[in-house]
Amino acid sequence: MTSLTDLTIAEALAALDKGEFTARELTGAYIAEVEAGRSLNAFTTETPEQALAMADAADAARKAGEAGPLAGIPLAIKDLFCTKGVLTTASSHILDGFTPPYESTVTSNLWRDGAVMLGTVSLDEFAMGSSNETSYYGPVENPWRAGDGKSRVPGGSSGGSATAVAARLALGATGTDTGGSIRQPASFCGLAGIKPTYGRCSRWGIIAFASSLDQAGPLARTVEDAAILLGSMAGFDPRDSTSIDRPVPDYRKALTGDIRGLKIGIPAEYRMEGTPAEIIELWDRGIQWMKDAGAQIVDISLPHTQYALATYYVVAPAEASSNLARYDGVRYGLREPGNNLIEMYENTRGAGFGHEVQRRILIGTYVLSAGYYDAYYLKAQKVRTLIAQDFEQAFGRVDAILTPTAPSAAFVPGEKSDDPISMYLNDVFTVPASLAGIPGMSVPAGLSADGLPLGLQILGRPFEEETVLRVGQMVEKAARFDARPGAWWKEAA
């Protein structure tokens, strides 16, 4: 018999419905995996008692014929979602001890549908990073290792989420994506991860990084599982002023396995100089799979692609510097004493924020400061318009766009931490869609020469997550990605 933790969400739901095992048994199996996987450092706070109580409630609901669509499914929650009564840190020292008295809308939706909370998982501090190395609680290990046996980063910022799901410590996880923070870790850990359209999932109760870009979404082991989770996470919320009031489709039903006649765009500008050959080869294989499935390949141009990263690294720090002004040692978290109020603010923020966060706050403050606003911030917002228009024009001709997710497989810790720009370049393929607010998904498509997962990215029109998921599942099918990391962390324990 396969172990309980090898099942997908779809399989586990079917087995729970048939009574093959209980939610308590499934949750118990995951709690044991979480404990055995502590050396991966994915979890910040484990909540096993709460998990078992939620599992019992799911079992009772199922008995009464009232099981929700996720009843009894154990999940990990990125530690950026406020969870009532459970420490929420954003992986930052400055939120020491912060225990929210309320629950984020997205997690409320998951619990409403019967999901089980295993605990909170680590991220790059305030979701700023692409490697999960900037967490105050230490780096997270990718469960995948290359032939050289060296550690790899899980990607970021949803690195704890990706490691937890890939290492079978959770059936699925929530993530957030501001410039690639769901898609890039999904690619690095061999998972399906979708960032929906801006406005699809409520941002209420998610600790803000860059409000015009932040969007929640799931990480899961299959496209179908991601579709199931997204269906519960998405929805209108009057408490988020940018939430969109439109019905949530049945995303699972969108997975028809039929993309015949669909037009798939291949953007010339994503064939960047310096991209490793194996990434280009993977992309070319993906294009062939689309043709084989009956889709029509269309060459397109997204002419402002090369300016997306620079635009992002003006807009995101500007918004972050404003959002992070609230951490002042008065209302929650850390306080460092000072001789007066201003000194107390400065000492608290100097001690509470890590280096990467400080640098982004300073950049953001600078580009918004008098005399520089027009040259940097306003200019970037104008280029952002052009980037969004590139996509609008392309989507007049195609139904979806296929690209690589990241320019490399997971890298070795420390490899990029000395040079912010080389770290930022990791997001070169994911950032444009974030700036335009359109949905994007990463799906595992193959292994690198040294045995690490690589993902392909599917982009779609606003609110056409169904098309993105349908195409994503065709990539998944064609790739027949069934590799999984060896459980070396258990042998070490």
Partner 1 sequence: MSVDTKTVARIAHLARLRLPEDKLEPMAGELNRVLSWVEQLSEVNTDNVPPLTSVVHARLRQRDDVVTDGDRRDDVLANAPDAQNGFFAVPKVIE
Active site members: 78, 157, 181
CB of 425 to partner 1, least distance (A): 10
Instruction: Tell the residue number behind the tokens 């020292």, with chain if given.
Output: 93
- Which of 255, 308 has the CB closer to partner 1? 308
**Of the residues 74, 156, 437, 446, which one makes contact with partner 1 according to CB under 8 A:** 437
- Scan residues 158-197 and list those touching partner 1 (CB under 8 A): 197
- Which of 8, 212 has the CB closer to partner 1? 212
The enclosing H or E element of 44 equals strand 43-46
**Of the residues 120, 134, 305, 311, which one makes contact with partner 1 according to CB under 8 A:** 311
Answer yes or no whether residue 93 interacts with partner 1 by CB under 8 A.
no
**Of the residues 8, 50, 358, 417, which one makes contact with partner 1 according to CB under 8 A:** 358
**Beta strands, E only, 106-229:** 116-121, 172-177, 192-195, 215-220
CB of 230 to partner 1, least distance (A): 18
Q: Are 453 and 189 in contact (CB under 8 A)?
A: yes
**Of the residues 165, 173, 223, 380, which one makes contact with partner 1 according to CB under 8 A:** 380
- Which of 147, 238 has the CB closer to partner 1? 238
**Of the residues 138, 238, 414, 486, which one makes contact with partner 1 according to CB under 8 A:** 238
Answer yes or no whether residue 242 interacts with partner 1 by CB under 8 A.
yes
Buried b (16+ CB within 10 A) or exposed e, 432-442: bbbbbbbbbbb
d(CA 68, CA 72): 9
Answer yes or no whether residue 203 interacts with partner 1 by CB under 8 A.
no
**Beta strands, E only, 59-102:** 74-78
Neighbours of 377 (CB within 10 A): 20
Buried b (16+ CB within 10 A) or exposed e, 31-48: bebbebbeebbbbbbbbb
d(CA 81, CA 83): 6
- Scan residues 18-77 and list those touching partner 1 (CB under 8 A): none
- Scan residues 278-307 and list those touching partner 1 (CB under 8 A): 304, 307
Question: Given the rule CB under 8 A, which of 218-226, 241-249, 256-264, 450-458 is the region that contacts partner 1?
Answer: 241-249
Answer yes or no whether residue 85 interacts with partner 1 by CB under 8 A.
no
Q: Reduced to 3 states, what is the DSSP secondary structure of residue 431?
A: helix
Alpha carbon 66 to its chain centroid, in Å, reads 30
Q: Are 71 and 35 in contact (CB under 8 A)?
A: no
- Scan residues 317-346 and list those touching partner 1 (CB under 8 A): 321, 325, 328-335, 337-346
Question: Given the rule CB under 8 A, which of 25-33, 95-103, 132-140, 449-457 is the region that contacts partner 1?
Answer: 95-103
Interface with partner 1 (CB under 8 A), residue total: 73
- Scan residues 98-117 and list those touching partner 1 (CB under 8 A): 98-102
Answer yes or no whether residue 372 interacts with partner 1 by CB under 8 A.
yes
**Of the residues 388, 415, 477, 487, which one makes contact with partner 1 according to CB under 8 A:** 388
Question: Given the rule CB under 8 A, which of 10-18, 139-147, 267-275, 367-375 is the region that contacts partner 1?
Answer: 367-375
Q: Are 62 and 14 in contact (CB under 8 A)?
A: no
d(CA 86, CA 72): 20
CB of 31 to partner 1, least distance (A): 28
CB of 179 to partner 1, least distance (A): 13
CB of 204 to partner 1, least distance (A): 12
- Scan residues 439-468 and list those touching partner 1 (CB under 8 A): 462
Answer yes or no whether residue 376 interacts with partner 1 by CB under 8 A.
yes
DSSP secondary structure letter of residue 46: E
Question: Given the rule CB under 8 A, which of 108-116, 165-173, 377-385, 399-407 is the region that contacts partner 1?
Answer: 377-385
- Which tokens go with 480? 């027949």
Answer yes or no whether residue 359 interacts with partner 1 by CB under 8 A.
yes
72, 388, 402, 464, 468 from 436: Cα distances, Å: 36, 5, 16, 14, 16
Answer yes or no whether residue 351 interacts with partner 1 by CB under 8 A.
yes
Buried b (16+ CB within 10 A) or exposed e, 330-366: eebbbbbeeeeeeebbebbbeebbbebbeebbebbbe
Residue 120, strand partner residues:
45, 77
x/- letters, 208..237, toward partner 1 (CB under 8 A): ----x-------------------------
C-alpha triplet 190, 196, 200: angle, nearest 5°: 150
The enclosing H or E element of 317 equals helix 308-323
Q: Are 488 and 142 in contact (CB under 8 A)?
A: no
- Which of 246, 271 has the CB closer to partner 1? 246
**Of the residues 63, 150, 271, 382, which one makes contact with partner 1 according to CB under 8 A:** 382
**Of the residues 53, 254, 298, 383, which one makes contact with partner 1 according to CB under 8 A:** 383
CB of 424 to partner 1, least distance (A): 8
